[in-house]
Amino acid sequence: MNRRQLLVGSASLMILTRPLRADTEDKLFDSWLSTQYANQPRSHEGVTVTLPALAENGNSVALTVEVQSPMQPDDYIQTIDVFAPLNPVPHLGRFYLNPATGIAKVSTRIRLGGDQTVHAVAATFDGRLLLGGADIVVTEAACLDFLI
Amino acid sequence: MAKARINIPRNIRRGDLVEIKTLITHPMETGFRVDSLGVKIPRNILTQFSVALNDTLVFQADLQPGIAANPFISFFLRAEQSGQLTFTWTGQHGFTHVETRAFDPAP
C-alpha cells in the first residue's frame, strides 16, 4: 500500500467510524430506556440539555437539564434521568421532582468518558417520556485509567 | 468530615421561584481508578441526596459514579411556606451528612 492509498483509506475510515459509534451509542441508550421504562409513550420535545460544546477535561463538566412543564399538581415532571452511553456506568443519576419544585430545572457536574451524546429522559406524572440530548467533545476523558 | 455549602437567595418573597445550590466535599471514587501500585481503588460514592421542607420531601437525587467529585447539585423551589429545609447526603460505608437551613419567604 502506498502513501496515497493509506491516506485515502484512513480518511474514509474516519468518516465511517463516526456514524458507527453513534449507532452503538443509540443502541445502548435504547436498551437502557426500554429496561427502565417499557412501553411508555415517548416524544422528543420540551427537554433542553445544556453542556459546553467542548470539554478539555471529562472529570467535571457542568450540565443543566430543563424541561418545559407547568409543574402544577395536574401536570408535572416526576423524574429526570441523565444517561451518557460511553461511560463505564452510563446512568449518571436520577432527579425526583414534584409540584413544589416550581420549575423542572436541575444542574450538576458530571464525568464523561469520551465524545458522545448525553441524553436526558424526563418522565411526567402520568408516565409519558420526554427525551432530549446534547453532543459534547471531550479532549481528555475522565476514566483514562479504566480505558488503559 | 465532609463540608457542605448551601446557597439560598436572600430577600425571597412568597411565590418566587428560588434556585437552591448545594455542594459537598466528597471524592466520589468511581472504583475504576488504580493507585500508583496498580491496585484498584474501591468505589466510594454518595448514593442519594434529599431535601425536605418541614418533613415533606421536596427534592431527591440518586447519584452514580458518573457524578463528578464534590457533587454540586442545584434545583428550584417555589417559595410558598416557610419552615426548615433539611438537606441529607447519604453514601457508601455509612456516610451521612445532614444540614438544616431556615427557609422564610416574606409575604
What does the pLDDT read at residue A18?
A: 57
Residues in a beta bridge with A46: none
Residue B46: CATH number of its domain: 2.60.40.10
- Name chain A contacts of B59, Cβ cutoff 8 Å: 95-98, 101
**Which residues of chain A does B21 touch, with a Cβ-Cβ cutoff of 8 Å?**
107
Closest CA to A94 of A76, A106, A112: A106
Task: Label residue A14 by pLDDT band (50, 70, 90).
Answer: low
pLDDT recorded at residue A7: 62
* Cβ(A133)–Cβ(A113) below 8 Å: no
DSSP A109: E
Q: Are A51 and A132 in contact (CB under 8 A)?
A: no
Q: Is A69 on the interface with B (CB under 8 A)?
A: no
| Contact between chains at B59 and A92 (C-beta distance less than 8 A) | no
Indicate yes or no: CB of B58 within 8 angstroms of CB of A100: yes
ipTM of the complex: 0.93
3-state secondary structure of B5: strand
Nearest residue on chain B to A64, alpha-carbon basis? B74
Please give the residue range of the domain that contains residue B68. Answer: 4-103
CB atoms B33 and A88 under 8 Å = no
For cell 464534590, the residue is B70
- One-letter identity of residue A61: V
Distance CA B82, CA B97 (A): 23
**Top-confidence residue, B23 or A18:** B23
Please write down the HEC assignment for all residues of B60-93.
Answer: EEEECCCECCCCEEEEEEECCCCEEEEEEEEECC
B/e letters for A38-58, b = 16+ CB within 10 Å, e = fewer, are eeeeeeeebbebebeeebeeb
CATH number, residue A90: 2.60.40.2470
Instruction: Give how far Cα B98 sits from Cα of A71, A142, B71, B72, B85, Å.
Output: 27, 29, 15, 15, 10
Total number of domains in chain A? 1
Q: pLDDT grade, residue A66 (50/70/90)?
A: very high
CA-nearest residue to A83 within chain B is B66
Predicted pLDDT at B72: 97
**Chain B 49-78, residues with CB within 8 Å of chain A CB atoms:** 53, 56-69, 71-78
Of A141 and A120, the structure prediction assigns the larger pLDDT to A120
pLDDT, residue A148, reads 42
pLDDT given for residue B8 in this prediction: 95
What is the maximum alpha-carbon separation in chain B?
60
pLDDT at B35: 86
Residue A90's pLDDT band, with cuts at 50, 70 and 90, is very high
Q: Is 70 exceeded by the pLDDT of residue A143?
A: no
Instruction: Kindly tell me the burial class for residue B86, based on how many C-beta atoms sit within 10 Å of its own C-beta (0-12, 13-18, 19 or more).
Output: middle
The three-state secondary structure class of A4 is helix
Confirm or reject contact between B5 and chain A (CB < 8 A). Answer: no
B49 strand-pairing partners: B61, B89
CB < 8 Å to A102, chain B: 17-18, 76-78
| Predicted confidence (pLDDT) per residue in B27-67, tens digit | 999 988 888 898 999 999 999 999 999 999 999 999 999 99
- CA proximity to B47, closest of B5, B92, B4, B97: B92
| pLDDT greater at residue A45 or residue B23 | B23
pTM: 0.88
User: Is the model's pLDDT at A68 over the cut of 60?
Assistant: yes
Q: Which residues form the domain of A118?
A: 3-147
Q: pLDDT at position B17, please?
A: 94
Confidence at residue B56, expressed as pLDDT on a 0 to 100 scale: 94
State the cell numbers at B38.
496498580
% of chain B at pLDDT higher than 90? 82
